[in-house]
Structure 1
Amino acid sequence: MLRARTQMVTSRRIAEPRDIADVVLFLASERSGYVKGQELPVDSGLCRNVMSPVPRPQ
Structure 2
Amino acid sequence: FEARRAQVTASRRIGEPQDIADVALFLASPRSAYVNGAEIAVDGGMSSMLMDMVPRPGFNQ
**TM-score, normalised with respect to structure 1:** 0.82
Q: Structure 2 counterpart of 1:19, which letter?
A: D
**Matched residues, percent identical?**
53
* Runs of 5+ unmatched residues, structure 2: 57-61
Q: Which has the larger Rg?
A: 2
**TM-score, normalised with respect to structure 2:** 0.79
* Runs of 5+ unmatched residues, structure 1: none
Could you tell me how far 1:53 is from its partner in structure 2?
A: 5.3
Displacement over 6 Å in runs of 4+: none
Where in structure 2 are the equivalents of 1:1-58 lying within 5 Å?
A: 1-52=1-52, 54=54
Task: Provide the aligned length of Structure 1 versus Structure 2.
Answer: 55
